[in-house]
Amino acid sequence: MNPSQPVALIESLDYEGHGVAHVEGKTIFIDGALPYETVSYSSYRKKPSYENADTCAVLKESFLRTTPRCPHFGVCGGCSMQHVEFSAQVAIKQRVLEDSLKHIGKVGAERMLTPIAGPAWGYRHRARLSARLVEKKGGVLVGFHEKRSSYIAEMSECHILPPHISALIVPLREMIYTLSIRDRMPQIEVAVGEKLDILVFRNMDAISAADEAILRRFSDTHSQPGRPLQIWLQPKGPDTCYPLYPLDAPKLTYTLRDFSVEMPYYPTEFTQVNPEINNVMVTRALRLLDPQPGERIADMFCGIGNFTLPIARSGADVHGMEGSEALVKRAVENARHNRLEHKVSYEMANLFEVTEESFAALGKFDKMLVDPPRDGAVQLLKALTDDTAPQRIVYVSCNPATLARDAGILVNTKGYTLKAAGIINMFPHTAHVESVAWFEKTGPCKSRKEMDEMEAAEAAAREAAKAAKKAREAEAARKKAEEEAERAAKKEARRQHYLANQAYYDARNAAKSDSEQ
């Protein structure tokens, strides 16, 4: 241990998986540290009230710590929690959700659901790998970015990818190096379907006939019996991708077994990366939603219909809304593919700009499922009134902080009770927290005037807190300046005392010398 490095006792983990400690009044977020550990650390970012740091040495180890399986862990940015025992990862994420609801939303669930946890390894069926020609490394690198870096980790395997995809990393490096555009192919999109695997190569320049032949041979070499490896090219944006070889491959699909729904999709379209957990997540969300024949249900941020079509299987009428035109088009096709077009309708809309009037224009919904991106659904939920608010809302979230904020809106201003919530371990060995929450309408919404007054009071409280913080910082700066001035004055006094003594002795010695002469 370097004695100059500070030491901290880790108290908890934040929602990104960093160890949290408090040192001399500052919050320190330490990557690689676990609760109950004592670590030395090195800060890479310093702010007035907090610091971000890396663990240098574990001085007292937590019982939660385990040996990472992957040799690239700690360098590769793909995983952040392989050093945490798997069951502890799930418990930590559940605690993150509970703490977020309590501290951000000021709410608590009547019941915490049992966490959903699936396979620990080989779960990732969708990934975006980077590729870069690095001659000093001996060729092309293929993999995820290094932690907090634009550099690509030098990888030979990846344990969160299916084994047969992990086994392609080294052959991909070797194959891309033989292409004429090896320095113009920065990205490979991986999609693992039920009947085939797809690699989408982002080609910045046109592919020559010789390069096409190399890609075809790669497909032939690495296809499995009854399971082709299909090569796609993407010359520009995601909408420009197209299959190169083989052209007679089956469709890319996943199946929601509990609802007899098959979902075709394009390799660049959003789908959940963990199909096994997605299946369980959809089942849990629908059990909470409890759709009934004849009910009118909204599916907000519906994507390609991951929840819409299972809801429709219940006999309910479902209206899906989504901001992407391409995803709406795919959702319509999937409804037709599953012969559910008579039970669903879709609409493209910006759900981040919903108003009370635009939501009311949709008509009354009995229930609503919400599955927003990381930013949450704050504008949509603020638009609810007593006339339009559904009796039940099931909220699927990929960000516990925005779920907690939105839960606070529903419970504290819209008359809902948070009946249940729990996490879904969609991304093992990462700090990513997927969760689901069930809200039931049990009281009235606050009026617009009450909402405005509440928001004004909250804004005033935030400004007061900022002012108080500035006052504390100013007082601390004043005291520090006074202490520094006092130290400087004492130092100057000592210097003057020394100079006076020196002058006295110099004068005395000079006088003595004169008298002796």
DSSP string over 285-347: HHHHH---TT-EEEEET-TTTTTHHHHHHTT-EEEEEES-HHHHHHHHHHHHHTT-TTTEEEE
Q: Among residues 70, 76, 79, 398, which one is catalytic?
A: 398
Distances (CA, A) of 334 to 193, 329, 331, 337, 345: 16, 9, 5, 5, 12
- Its sign, for the CA torsion 89, 90, 91, 93, is positive
| C-alpha–C-alpha distance, residues 280 and 306, integer Å | 12
- Contact (Cβ atoms closer than 8 angstroms) between residue 393 and residue 288: no
Question: What DSSP character marks residue 385?
Answer: -
Where b means 16+ CB within 10 Å and e means fewer, 391-404 reads ebbbbbbbbbbbbb
Active site residue 158: no
* Strand-by-strand arrangement of the 38-46 sheet: 7-9, 38-46, 50-60, 26-31, 19-23, 12-13
| C-alpha–C-alpha distance, residues 253 and 125, integer Å | 11
Which pair of structure tokens corresponds to residue 438?
């069930």
DSSP string over 46-78: E-SSEEEEEEEEEEE--TTB---S-TTBTTBSS
Residues with Cβ within 8 Å of residue 512, at least 6 apart in sequence: none
Question: What DSSP character marks residue 418?
Answer: E
379: left (phi over 0), alpha (psi -120 to 50) or beta: alpha
Strands (E), 353-478: 367-370, 392-397, 416-425, 434-441
Which pair of structure tokens corresponds to residue 312?
């429709």
- Contact (Cβ atoms closer than 8 angstroms) between residue 369 and residue 307: yes
Active site residues: 398
